[in-house]
Amino acid sequence: MSSKKHTPEQIINKLRQAEVEIAGGATISQAARKTGITDQTYYRWRTEYGGMRVDQAKRLKELESENAQLRCAILHAMTFTARQEV
């Protein structure tokens, strides 16, 4: 089973589609299946992106990416410093 990478815009749109289906009387499983995601993915995305606008989700992903880069830079600097001390 291949995994897909969805952009924050796609995730929010799929969540909105699912919410419309649920409001129309469908179960969460039916709504998730109709939008092409699993129940688990729906719940995970709802937890992470529920109530967000597209611009907020984009900013969240940018900050997560920047945070990962900074962590890598700090780890590299710490490794470099530790090598100099030896």
pLDDT at residue number 3: 66
pLDDT at residue number 86: 64
pLDDT at residue number 2: 55
CA 83 to each of CA 2, 71, 78: distance values in angstroms, whole numbers, following the listed order? 41, 18, 9
pLDDT at residue number 51: 85
For residue 67, give the DSSP letter: H
Task: Give just the sign of the alpha carbon dihedral 11, 9, 27, 43.
Answer: positive
pLDDT at residue number 81: 80
Residues of the chain predicted below pLDDT 70: 1-3, 86
pLDDT at residue number 47: 93
pLDDT at residue number 5: 87
